[in-house]
Structure 1
Amino acid sequence: MSTVIKNGQLFIGDQIESGDLLIEKGKIVAIGQSLTGDNEIDAGGKLVSPGLVDVHVHYRDPGQTNKENVQTGSKAAAHGGFTTVGAMPNVTPVPNTPELMSEMVKNNQEHGVVHIMQYGPITTDEIGDKIPDYHGLKEAGCFALSNDGKGVQSAQTMYLAMQQAKKNNLVIAEHAQDDSLFNLGVINEGKKAEEFGMRPVTELAETTQIARDLLLAQKTGVRYHICHVSTEKSVALVRLAKKAGINVTCEVAPHHLLIADYDIPANDGNYKMNPPLRSKADQQALIEGLLDGTIDMIATDHAPHTQEDKAGGFAKAAFGITGSETVFSELYTYFVKIGVFSLTQLLKWLTAKPAEAFGLSQAGRIALGQPADIAIFDLNSCHKIAEADYLSKGANTPFTGDEVYGQTSMTIVDGKVVYQKEGN
């Protein structure tokens, strides 16, 4: 059986062009005009994109499934147009061994509706100085390493970890955070911290670890990726490192592009994330970093929590915000429609760029022989983001209620429809 997607605006390479896609046995087998197949999907002039790629999600599975699980998290990803994601290892238990990694990979495959790439930890239990068996983890299906949610505190430990990661051809994806400088803070250092009377987080907690790690990456030659850069100085450090030939990539989270600490309206836990929302100057630097290529990609840091987790304002709420279901429509509406980003730029940051950085050759592009991982977006109809529409268990986001364009109409993984908007 074959399926043809008709009358789409196809994003191929760096261009958007009218055409059809023919899919057979889960692969793209033809791209052209007036194609026919056994089944037909009429895109009706909507944007037909490679399935989006998100290298940073939290599925809480196993051990924290009251917040999210592989099934709900991956359905949320599909709702947002994502077909490939990277799941962080801060679960219970942390997949420190090949056996635990194998179990997680199997669970991802059995219960996920999108492709789920599984991270392993940089250090055992994401704490301390013990380095797991990277070779064994990779053999069991680990695609990269991260202690996300925690920074590696010891420079010596990170140095040894980078050496082992380099030896096993694994990316180190670092949550850059010096705990002594973070100092149990809950909100960015500035006027809002003063207004709410909350313990501040200095930008130095992020930037000093980035500076350290860039030098270690230069020495070891490891592929070093920085999660959720959030400050002007972080962007400047990465820019210098790239000019120096250091093998570094980095991501920015959509909430850091969309909101600054100045915009926080009240002492509301839905605005509490780590790194925290930064200043307007930091926000502008992140936008400029994307535009000049310093920042390679956008990744959601999808971090679902229960209502109880997010209660109590900045002092008591857990860090984290959901993002899988809102990122494309929010960024399309607030950046592309007003001319800050082009549509092709946004799509590349959400498809080809993350795939290239993490060596995912089967993701992020529409091409002959590629898996038929496709997202179809309606760019012309406005809709209101509603909590009732979320497929994630988490609704911890300040974007609920926003009126946006770019709603996902359909998501296809390996030629099979895994999400379809009602009425399509």
Structure 2
Amino acid sequence: AGGFTSIACMANTEPVNDNASVTRYILKKAQEEGIVNVCSVGAVSKGLKGETLAEIGELREAGCVAISDDGRPVMNSGLMRLAMEYAKQFNILVISHCEDTGLSSEGAMNEGFVATKLGLKGIPSASEAIMVARDIFLAELTGARLHIAHVSTKGAVELIRVAKKRGVNVTAEITPHHFTLTDEAVIGYNTNAKMNPPLRTGQDIEALKQGLKDGTIDVIATDHAPQDSVSKDIEFDRAANGIVGLETALPLCLKIVAENVISLSELVKRLSSNPARLLGLDSKGSLKVGDDADIAIFDIDREWAVDSKKLKSKSKNTPFDTWKMKGKVVKTIVGGKVVWSEPTVSA
């Protein structure tokens, strides 16, 4: 319903995708039961524990398109360097969640006025920037391809911009919720506005948009993280991080197109062409002759309201419930086959 024809399955599976057997199982299961293309992202460390390197060569051979410890930062710099050295050898992308847990530990939202007002422990923007800087230097040292996940701060954008000018092989992504919502969305202790990295300030949002505009930011990713109601309907500081993002991504992205942040063609690159290129999906992300017929058809002027109860995801944890949106997917085609069609629109 969100128009996504290919998705990347992160390594935070049960069991963790840290070996070839799990990778092969995920890809086999996805092929048998899935209706979209599923790419497998292997773990950097065994068990996502940040202690022992996973068998990166085996993961690559089994079909992984990237390695990442998902929402867990690899705090051991020596281990991260080793991971990048192996990633360079096997030509596989390293996706990094940049967070210094020494600064963010026990934090529940962005550090600042709103956190103070609500009496919640904050996560400083420096916790992201510090790790972005570290990983940039490690990528420069090893020559590995580094991708910074869900960038949320002005400082991180500035570091990535400078690194690119210096010739470091680094790319970056932002999410629709991070360029749409500020930490004020948390007011009222709204757990559906709790995610990691947390929502930041208006100044950070402007920096993210500028990063999109000048090419510092290569990708827009949903960071789709469903959570059940039990893990959200509790005290804010105990609630799980994450929101569902697949069905609201397109209209939120079209909003910044309307604001002239980027053009529609540039949006297609950020959502489709660039991710496909970075993950080495040669037949994806374009409509050239011979490419896979994976297509999302959308009505750019279609107005609708988000109703969390009607979301196709099994989880309903969205901060955009009741929001008025403009732009809606009406048909999703995977491999030339229509896999979803908006019920009210005739073919």
The TM-score bracket by the shorter chain reads: over 0.9
Deviations 1:367-396 (A, max 9, x none): 111111011001122111122331111111
Are residue 227 (structure 1) and residue 149 (structure 2) matched? yes
2:8 counterpart residue number: 86
1:414 counterpart residue number: 335
Are residue 293 (structure 1) and residue 212 (structure 2) matched? no
Within the candidate set 250, 255, 264, 1:343 is matched to 264
1:52-91 alignment, distance < 5 Å: 79-91=1-13
1:56 counterpart residue number: none
SS of the aligned residue for 1:321 comes to coil
CA contact (8 A) 2:226 2:316 kept: yes
Q: How many residues in Structure 1 have an aligned counterpart in Structure 2?
A: 345
CA distance in 2 between partners of 1:233 and 1:339 (Å)? 23
CA contact (8 A) 1:382 1:403 kept: yes
Q: Which has the higher contact order (CA 8 A, sep 6+)?
A: 1
CA distance in 2 between partners of 1:224 and 1:285 (Å)? 21
SS of the aligned residue for 1:205 comes to helix
2:150 partner letter: H
Larger Rg: 1
1:124-203 alignment, distance < 5 Å: 124-203=46-125
2:317 counterpart residue number: 396
SS of the aligned residue for 1:258 comes to coil
CA contact (8 A) 1:268 1:313 kept: no
How far has the Cα of 1:313 moved from its partner?
A: 4.0
Runs (5+) with no aligned partner, structure 2: none
CA contact (8 A) 1:325 1:390 kept: yes
User: Where do 4+ consecutive residues of structure 1 move more than 6 Å?
Assistant: none
**Residues 313/339 of structure 1: CA separation in 2 closer, same or farther (3 Å cut):** farther
Moved more, 124-133 or 224-233: 124-133
CA contact (8 A) 1:262 1:280 kept: no
Are residue 106 (structure 1) and residue 28 (structure 2) matched? yes
1:262 counterpart residue number: 184
How far has the Cα of 1:340 moved from its partner?
A: 3.2
Deviations 1:227-263 (A, max 9, x none): 0011001001000110110000000011000011134
Within the candidate set 191, 216, 219, 2:138 is matched to 216
CA distance in 2 between partners of 1:209 and 1:108 (Å)? 33
Higher helix share: 2
How far has the Cα of 1:346 moved from its partner?
A: 1.7
1:354 counterpart residue number: 275
Runs (5+) with no aligned partner, structure 1: 1-78
1:8 counterpart residue number: none
CA distance in 1 between partners of 2:205 and 2:301 (Å)? 27
Are residue 364 (structure 1) and residue 272 (structure 2) matched? no
CA distance in 1 between partners of 2:141 and 2:209 (Å)? 29
In percent, how many aligned pairs have the same letter?
40
CA distance in 1 between partners of 2:186 and 2:213 (Å)? 25
CA contact (8 A) 2:3 2:297 kept: yes
Higher strand share: 1
How far has the Cα of 1:168 moved from its partner?
A: 0.9
CA contact (8 A) 1:187 1:314 kept: no
Deviations 1:160-179 (A, max 9, x none): 11111111111100011111
CA distance in 2 between partners of 1:393 and 1:113 (Å)? 16
How far has the Cα of 1:352 moved from its partner?
A: 1.1
Deviations 1:128-184 (A, max 9, x none): 321111111112111110001100011100011111111111110001111111122
CA distance in 1 between partners of 2:125 and 2:260 (Å)? 30
TM-score computed with the length of structure 1 as normaliser: 0.79
CA distance in 2 between partners of 1:348 and 1:286 (Å)? 16
2:310 partner letter: D
CA contact (8 A) 2:65 2:280 kept: no
CA distance in 2 between partners of 1:157 and 1:174 (Å)? 13
CA contact (8 A) 2:227 2:315 kept: yes
2:204 counterpart residue number: 282
TM-score computed with the length of structure 2 as normaliser: 0.97
1:27-42 alignment, distance < 5 Å: none
Are residue 375 (structure 1) and residue 296 (structure 2) matched? yes
How far has the Cα of 1:323 moved from its partner?
A: 0.4
